[in-house]
């Protein structure tokens, strides 16, 4: 029994170490937030429907990072119109807010972070394009903008819409 159990545990440990290393590498790539965001159509009230193109050396890792990039884009980039959409400005439109609240956003965008509550991938929308040595992965993501705004307002990151000028 011990002869069988030890090799199985060793394989499980090696696999989990490799998975952790791949995720850490993905986090390093994603921390640069290299992505493109565009409107993907009209969504139900309180949400944005966006297409996020994420760049990575691994297509599988890029797909997993698309939700994080979609939320980041809604908060800091906004996106242009098209496909019957209206352009959306970023929620955090004050310069330097990302650096000012760096600790908050590091925790917010961490693995298993709060960002996951506000984004969901639309099944069957993944596109993968090989660009040189890396992949450009496009995924349509639904972002719950009203809930995201409330959370950022509660944290003091952005001002409430009714706070005046």
Per domain, the residue ranges of the chain are 2-154
Residue 47 is encoded by which pair of tokens? Answer: 């949400």
Q: Taking the model in full, what pTM does it have?
A: 0.78
Q: How many CA atoms lie within 13 A of 145 on its CB side?
A: 21
Q: Report how far apart the first and last C-alpha atoms of the chain are (Å, whole number).
A: 72
Query: Smallest Cα–Cα separation from 111: which of 28, 14, 15, 18?
Result: 28
Task: Identify the residue whose tokens are 């009714």.
Answer: 162
8 Å CB contact between 156 and 105: no
pLDDT at 18: 47
What ranges in the chain are assigned the alpha helix state H? Answer: 2-30, 59-72, 97-100, 102-108, 145-154
Q: What is residue 74's predicted lDDT score, i.e. its pLDDT?
A: 96
From the CA atom positions of the chain, what is the Rg in Å? 19
Residue by residue, pLDDT tens for the chain (165 residues) are: 555 545 544 444 454 444 455 555 555 554 568 999 999 988 889 999 999 999 999 988 888 899 999 999 999 999 987 767 888 999 998 888 999 999 999 999 998 899 999 999 998 989 999 999 999 999 999 999 999 999 999 999 998 877 555
Q: Are 141 and 122 in contact (CB under 8 A)?
A: yes
**Max CA distance (Å), the chain:** 72
Between 2-30 and 59-72, two packed helices, what is the crossing angle to 10 degrees?
Answer: 50
């Amino acid at each position: 029994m011990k002869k069988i159990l030890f090799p199985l545990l060793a394989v499980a440990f090696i696999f989990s170490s490799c998975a952790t290393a791949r995720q850490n590498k993905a986090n390093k790539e994603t921390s640069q937030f290299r992505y493109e965001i565009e409107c993907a159509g009209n969504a139900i009230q309180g949400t944005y429907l966006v297409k996020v193109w994420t760049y990575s050396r691994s297509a599988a890792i890029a797909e997993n990072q698309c939700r994080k990039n979609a939320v980041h884009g809604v908060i800091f980039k906004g996106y242009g119109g098209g496909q019957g959409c209206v352009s959306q400005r970023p929620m955090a439109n004050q310069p330097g807010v990302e650096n000012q609240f760096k600790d908050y956003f590091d925790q917010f965008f961490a693995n298993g972070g709060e960002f996951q509550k506000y984004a969901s991938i639309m099944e069957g929308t993944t596109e993968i394009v090989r660009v040189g040595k890396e992949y450009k992965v496009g995924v349509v993501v639904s972002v719950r903008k009203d809930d995201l705004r409330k959370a950022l307002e509660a944290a003091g990151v952005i001002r409430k819409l009714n706070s005046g000028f």
